[in-house]
Structure formats: structure tokens, C-alpha cells
Amino acid sequence: MLQSIEARTGQPVGAAWPESTLADIDAAAAAAEAVAGDFAATSAAVRGALLRALAAALEADREKLVALADRETGLGLPRLNGELDRTIFQLNGFADVLAAGTIHAVVDDAAIAGTPPVGRPHLTRTRVPLGPVAMFSASNFPFAFSVLGGDSAAALAAGCPVVVKGHPAHPELSRMTAALAHRVVDAAGLPAGVFQFVEGGSIEVGVALVNAPAIAAVAFTGSFKGGTALAKVAAERPRPIPFYGELGSINPLLVLPAALEKSAELATTLAGSICLGAGQFCTSPGVIVVPAGADGDAFVQNLAKALQAQQPHAMLSAGIRATFDRGVARWRASSVLKPLVQDASAAGSLAPRPYLAEVTAADFIQHHELQEEVFGSAALVVRTLSIDDAVAVLQTVGGSLTVTLWGAEADTPEHRRLVRAASQVAGRVLFSGVPTGVAVAAAQQHGGPYPASTQPFGTSVGYAAVDRFLRPVALQDAPAWVLERKGQPC
């Protein structure tokens, strides 16, 4: 059953309702498949207009959408208005990309007379949409990674129908957004199969959606556990399909000696990033690497003080809060951690307190349980004795969405080693600022080696996200009438 919950009080609002049945899910996928060929053949202009109309409809309903999102997530109006801004921005951004024509750009190799390998036929490399995309909404971004978020925008831009699974942590908002999408698709004169919506919180609903024969690819943002399980389902279908899972990560942030000079200011910035959205960001910094020594000690003291002053708001749901508490309890029980910030949360309060502890690089590397993400406002300070230590910490963390290097402005052999090590494990390497907040741009990469994502080549933020849903096809000696379509299916 699905039930809307008021996040700040934990109280149910209205009646519960049943999740989608397996028949509903198959019907939704089949409806998407039935229109996939025609939608793939629509022009870039048609799809661009659809994306802009979705953006405009979100803007028109802003007030009631944000109010409902706030009730179901407790994220607050400023944050939710900003997130809706971004969601609208990226729908329009994909429309701009479609208008620019890059999605349908082709690589053309003219025929060369003569025998191979020099001689060759005329080859035109095009891209075709994969077909219906199953999209799993995330709990922590009720607009930007939910029903009409980046994955839906990218799939629709590519010419793939989407079957969205709403997230059970904001079920009324999901329904309201889906209803808006249905209206816009209909008003655009497109068939309802272009946008389908299912809902449910059970494992069965997720598995059924990934297993629906009509589904051609899956986009998922969520937990490591859920994503890994569904990736396995996708790989074991009679016909395996691509599974684009963004599973979150630890996001190491290295404070190098040059940055320690600005200790107080950076510590405040970092504390804010750790507690942003109550730490419910997949790019939340979870490991802070600080050199041993007096300057490092001062930074750590400043960080602890700044973190102590933070007041995270209530988490998204009781389930997420319980997982956070279990993770912190695991850390509290560790004998190798030295606690720095560990206030108990006030009795009955749904707002968690931040948690910070310190550990040596050697202990961090040795203790596997310290390397698992704790989703929320908790971080570990890892103290290093050398660049070797810092590189070893990065290699231990392995795949991460981001690595941040503060103080690498100078070109030194040590910094070169760190940039290399960071590039080997992360999808994004930052040299200033904090990893929370992911700009929507052509150059963005929001992904990374496993376990940050299941397909490290794909990004789930930015305009390269569309590449996940387009498959190359080489046309050999194609007649003019085929080539006139510039790679779009007939």
C-alpha cells in the first residue's frame, strides 16, 4: 500500500491506496512499446516542444507542486523551489540540445573505390532510440530525480517512451506530476504510451518493471542494495538490457596543505555541504582526508565546531532515518574511531544530529565497515601521514561520483599523483567548492566506477545523459531517402 506521510511529523495524510499490480506494469510497458516506433520517428522539433510544454506546465503548477513536495519530504520551500527551477531548466535544456541538432548528428564516411582495407562502401553512423525506458524515481530529489527529472527528460529527448515508477516516499506528488505529464502529452497530440506511470514500494513492483519484456533499458537512482539487486535482474532477463544505476558514493574530499591556510572558512563551507538537505545527497562528502600535524588538527577542530553548529532538518522518511541511525551506531561501536561530533538527537525529534569521527588512514584502509556510505549528515575524517596514504585512501574507496581536491592549484609531482588517483576512481574531480550541487551542462559527468554507478560510461546529470538511450547503427550504401532523415528511424 502507498500512503502519503507528512515528513515533519511522521503522520499519515489521507487514505492509503494499493500499488500497481503486475498486470498494470506489463500493460504500461506494452503501451510504451506500442508507440515506441512512432515516437522514435518523431522530429527533434516535436520532442523539443514536448519537453518545453512539460517545463511550462511545471512552472504553471509551481505553487501546489512545491507545497505538496514540502509536505511529503520536509525539504523546505527554498530548496524545493530551487529544485523545481533546475527541473524546468533541464527540460528546456534538453529541448535546446534537440534544437541544436547534436543528438541526430551523423558520422559520414564516403565510399572509396578499390579493394579493402582502403576501399570501402559509403557508411553513415546514426543513432536510434533504444525503446521504452523504465525510470526509477529517487526519494531525495522529488523533482529533479523523480517523475519528470533528468532521466525522464533524457529518455524523451532521445525518442524513448518512459515508464516511470514513482517513489513511495512522495506518492501524492508523484501522482500529481504524472497527471500533469499525461495532460501535456495528450495536449501535444502524442499517444499516452509516450509517458506511462506505475507506483509501488515493494521489491515485486521493481522487479516486475525491470522484467517486463517491452522494457529496453532502465534508469535508476537509489540505494546500493536496491540498485545492485535490480541490475542483476536486468542482466538475467532472457534478453539482458542496459541498467543505468546511480547508487551513491562516499565522495572523498582531500584538504591538501595549501588549503589548510584557509582552515576556518573552508571548515564552515564543508560543514554546510555535509548537512545540506540533512546529508541526503548522493554527492555528500563522507570522507574528509586531512594531513596529520598541527595545521590539520586546527582544520579538524574548526570542522567539528562548524558541524556542531549545524541543524539538519528532518529526514525524508522514517526508513531513511532508521538506516542513518544504524549506520551511525555502527560507527559509534568502532574501536578505531575517535568521535568528534556525536550528540544524541533530541527525544521524539525527527531531525538528526550530525556525526563526525576521526580515524587514521591505516585503520580506515583496514576496516571495510568504515568504507560503506552512511546516507545522511555523517562523515569520517581520515588522517594521512603522506601522499602515499592519501592515494591509498582513494584506491580503497574505489568508485565514487566525486573526489574533491582542495589546495591543488600548484603543479607539483604530489598533486599530479593525486589528480591521477582521483581521476581513476571518480566521475567528477573538483578543485574548488563542494561536491553537493551538480550543474546541468554538456560537460557534466554524474557517474563513476562501480559502486558509484553500474555503467561508468553513463551520466545521469547533464546533456550527455541522452547518450545512454541512443544506440549506434551504421547505414551502408543507404539510399538518399533514408539519409534525408539524418539518422532518425523511418
Q: Which residues pair with 13 in a beta bridge?
A: 4
Stretch that binds a copy of itself, among 10-18, 187-195, 265-273, 441-449 (CB under 8 A): 441-449
Least distance to a copy of itself, CB of residue 298, Å: 25
Stretch 126-155: interaction string toward a copy of itself, x if CB under 8 A: x-x--x------------------------
**Can you tell me the distance from the alpha carbon of 35 to that of 163, in angstroms, rounded to the nearest whole number?**
12
| CA pseudo-torsion sign 72, 77, 79, 81 | positive
Question: Site residues for a copy of itself, window 442-461 (CB under 8 A)?
Answer: 442-445, 447, 449-451, 454-457, 459
**Can you tell me the distance from the alpha carbon of 374 to that of 262, in angstroms, rounded to the nearest whole number?**
28
Cβ atoms of 287 and 323 within 8 Å: the answer is no
Question: Site residues for a copy of itself, window 393-432 (CB under 8 A)?
Answer: 398-399, 408-411, 415-417, 419-420, 423-424, 426-432
Give the nearer residue to a copy of itself in terms of CB position, either 128 or 362: 128
Give the nearer residue to a copy of itself in terms of CB position, either 364 or 463: 463
User: Under the criterion CB under 8 A, does residue 472 sit at the interface with a copy of itself?
Assistant: yes
**Can you tell me the distance from the alpha carbon of 139 to that of 131, in angstroms, rounded to the nearest whole number?**
25
Give the nearer residue to a copy of itself in terms of CB position, either 18 or 437: 437
Residue indicated by cell numbers 524513448: 160
Q: Is 280 exposed, middle or buried (0-12, 13-18, 19+ CB in 10 A)?
A: buried
Give the nearer residue to a copy of itself in terms of CB position, either 366 or 432: 432
Active-site residue 275, yes or no?
no
User: What cell was used for 435?
Assistant: 561536491
**Can you tell me the distance from the alpha carbon of 2 to that of 215, in angstroms, rounded to the nearest whole number?**
24
Site residue total, a copy of itself (CB under 8 A) = 83
> Which residue is catalytic, options 199, 246, 358, 373?
246
Choose, by CB under 8 A, the member of 203, 235, 309, 322 that binds a copy of itself: 235
User: Under the criterion CB under 8 A, does residue 223 sit at the interface with a copy of itself?
Assistant: no
**Can you tell me the distance from the alpha carbon of 47 to that of 156, in angstroms, rounded to the nearest whole number?**
7
Give the nearer residue to a copy of itself in terms of CB position, either 14 or 117: 117
Cβ of 236: how many Cβ atoms within 10 Å?
10
Least distance to a copy of itself, CB of residue 143, Å: 12
Question: Site residues for a copy of itself, window 87-116 (CB under 8 A)?
Answer: 89-90, 106-109, 115-116
Least distance to a copy of itself, CB of residue 119, Å: 8
User: What cell was used for 212?
Assistant: 517486463
**Can you tell me the distance from the alpha carbon of 106 to that of 129, in angstroms, rounded to the nearest whole number?**
14
SS3 287: strand
Give the nearer residue to a copy of itself in terms of CB position, either 8 or 125: 125
Catalytic residues: 246, 282
